[in-house]
Amino acid sequence: MNQVNTDIFPENLKTLRRVLGFAIKGDALSQKEFADLLGVTRRTLVYWEQGELPNQGHRQEILRLVKEHLQIDIDEKFLLTKDISKVIGPVSFFMYADLLKDLSEKKRQILQHLFLKLEHADTDTLAHILDMVDEFIG
Protein backbone atom coordinates (compact mmCIF):
# COMPACT_ATOMS: atom_id res chain seq x y z
CA MET A 1 0.00 0.00 0.00
CA ASN A 2 1.30 3.48 -0.89
CA GLN A 3 2.05 5.77 2.01
CA VAL A 4 1.12 9.42 1.49
CA ASN A 5 3.57 12.03 2.75
CA THR A 6 1.48 14.45 4.78
CA ASP A 7 4.31 16.65 6.09
CA ILE A 8 2.87 19.72 4.33
CA PHE A 9 -0.53 19.46 6.03
CA PRO A 10 0.34 21.43 9.20
CA GLU A 11 1.63 24.35 7.11
CA ASN A 12 -1.45 24.18 4.89
CA LEU A 13 -3.66 24.34 7.96
CA LYS A 14 -1.84 27.41 9.30
CA THR A 15 -2.07 29.08 5.88
CA LEU A 16 -5.78 28.31 5.68
CA ARG A 17 -6.35 29.72 9.16
CA ARG A 18 -4.86 33.02 8.03
CA VAL A 19 -6.43 33.13 4.57
CA LEU A 20 -9.89 32.00 5.66
CA GLY A 21 -9.76 34.65 8.36
CA PHE A 22 -9.11 37.38 5.82
CA ALA A 23 -11.89 36.02 3.62
CA ILE A 24 -14.37 35.75 6.50
CA LYS A 25 -13.59 38.67 8.79
CA GLY A 26 -10.76 40.70 7.23
CA ASP A 27 -8.04 39.42 9.57
CA ALA A 28 -6.39 36.09 10.40
CA LEU A 29 -8.41 33.71 12.53
CA SER A 30 -7.06 32.84 15.94
CA GLN A 31 -6.62 29.15 16.70
CA LYS A 32 -9.75 29.30 18.86
CA GLU A 33 -11.82 30.95 16.10
CA PHE A 34 -10.68 28.40 13.52
CA ALA A 35 -11.28 25.53 15.93
CA ASP A 36 -14.80 26.84 16.61
CA LEU A 37 -15.50 26.96 12.85
CA LEU A 38 -14.39 23.34 12.60
CA GLY A 39 -16.32 22.24 15.68
CA VAL A 40 -13.24 21.17 17.64
CA THR A 41 -11.30 22.45 20.62
CA ARG A 42 -8.32 24.77 20.31
CA ARG A 43 -6.16 21.97 21.71
CA THR A 44 -7.24 19.66 18.89
CA LEU A 45 -6.36 22.31 16.31
CA VAL A 46 -2.93 22.75 17.93
CA TYR A 47 -2.33 18.99 17.57
CA TRP A 48 -3.26 19.22 13.89
CA GLU A 49 -0.97 22.22 13.37
CA GLN A 50 1.82 20.14 14.93
CA GLY A 51 1.31 17.28 12.51
CA GLU A 52 -1.49 15.06 13.77
CA LEU A 53 -4.04 14.37 11.05
CA PRO A 54 -7.72 15.09 11.66
CA ASN A 55 -10.23 12.37 10.91
CA GLN A 56 -11.85 12.26 7.49
CA GLY A 57 -14.95 14.12 8.66
CA HIS A 58 -12.89 17.06 9.88
CA ARG A 59 -10.79 17.03 6.70
CA GLN A 60 -14.01 17.24 4.71
CA GLU A 61 -15.15 20.19 6.84
CA ILE A 62 -11.85 21.98 6.09
CA LEU A 63 -12.39 21.36 2.37
CA ARG A 64 -15.97 22.66 2.63
CA LEU A 65 -14.74 25.91 4.22
CA VAL A 66 -12.11 26.31 1.49
CA LYS A 67 -14.72 25.81 -1.21
CA GLU A 68 -17.33 28.05 0.44
CA HIS A 69 -15.12 30.98 1.41
CA LEU A 70 -12.28 30.84 -1.11
CA GLN A 71 -14.19 29.34 -4.07
CA ILE A 72 -11.40 26.78 -4.51
CA ASP A 73 -12.26 23.13 -5.03
CA ILE A 74 -9.40 20.88 -3.91
CA ASP A 75 -9.49 17.26 -2.86
CA GLU A 76 -8.32 15.66 0.35
CA LYS A 77 -5.09 14.32 -1.14
CA PHE A 78 -4.14 17.82 -2.29
CA LEU A 79 -4.89 19.25 1.16
CA LEU A 80 -2.65 16.65 2.78
CA THR A 81 0.25 16.51 0.33
CA LYS A 82 0.55 19.69 -1.79
CA ASP A 83 1.44 23.27 -0.96
CA ILE A 84 -1.96 24.95 -0.86
CA SER A 85 -0.45 28.43 -1.26
CA LYS A 86 0.27 27.51 -4.88
CA VAL A 87 -3.49 27.35 -5.46
CA ILE A 88 -4.83 30.12 -3.25
CA GLY A 89 -2.06 32.63 -3.88
CA PRO A 90 -0.25 34.70 -1.34
CA VAL A 91 -1.96 35.62 1.90
CA SER A 92 -1.52 39.27 0.88
CA PHE A 93 -4.35 38.83 -1.64
CA PHE A 94 -6.76 38.17 1.19
CA MET A 95 -5.39 40.98 3.36
CA TYR A 96 -7.18 43.34 0.98
CA ALA A 97 -10.56 41.70 1.45
CA ASP A 98 -12.27 45.03 2.11
CA LEU A 99 -11.11 46.39 -1.24
CA LEU A 100 -12.01 43.19 -3.03
CA LYS A 101 -15.46 42.51 -1.61
CA ASP A 102 -17.24 44.97 -3.93
CA LEU A 103 -15.62 43.62 -7.09
CA SER A 104 -17.35 41.28 -9.47
CA GLU A 105 -16.45 37.59 -9.35
CA LYS A 106 -14.63 37.93 -12.66
CA LYS A 107 -12.46 40.80 -11.39
CA ARG A 108 -11.65 38.90 -8.19
CA GLN A 109 -10.60 35.85 -10.20
CA ILE A 110 -8.35 37.97 -12.42
CA LEU A 111 -6.80 39.67 -9.40
CA GLN A 112 -6.27 36.34 -7.67
CA HIS A 113 -4.49 35.06 -10.76
CA LEU A 114 -2.31 38.18 -10.83
CA PHE A 115 -1.50 37.81 -7.14
CA LEU A 116 -0.41 34.24 -7.76
CA LYS A 117 2.28 35.75 -9.96
CA LEU A 118 3.38 38.34 -7.39
CA GLU A 119 5.57 37.59 -4.42
CA HIS A 120 4.61 40.65 -2.40
CA ALA A 121 2.05 43.30 -3.09
CA ASP A 122 1.64 46.59 -1.30
CA THR A 123 -1.37 48.87 -1.37
CA ASP A 124 -0.03 50.98 -4.25
CA THR A 125 0.59 47.88 -6.36
CA LEU A 126 -2.90 46.60 -5.63
CA ALA A 127 -4.44 49.96 -6.53
CA HIS A 128 -2.51 49.94 -9.81
CA ILE A 129 -3.69 46.40 -10.57
CA LEU A 130 -7.29 47.37 -9.78
CA ASP A 131 -7.01 50.28 -12.21
CA MET A 132 -5.71 47.96 -14.92
CA VAL A 133 -8.49 45.45 -14.28
CA ASP A 134 -11.08 48.24 -14.47
CA GLU A 135 -9.67 49.37 -17.80
CA PHE A 136 -9.55 45.80 -19.12
CA ILE A 137 -13.01 44.70 -18.02
CA GLY A 138 -14.76 48.03 -17.90
For the whole model, what pTM was predicted?
0.67
The DSSP line for 47-97 is HHHTTPPPPHHHHHHHHHHHHHHH-----HHHHHHS-THHHH--HHHHHTH
- pLDDT tier, 117 (very low <50, low <70, confident <90, very high otherwise): low
Residue 1 banded pLDDT, cuts 50, 70, 90: very low
Domain 1-88 = CATH 3.40.1360.10:
no
Count the residues in the chain. 138
For the chain, domain boundaries: 1-88, 89-138
Confidence of residue 99 (pLDDT cuts 50, 70, 90): low
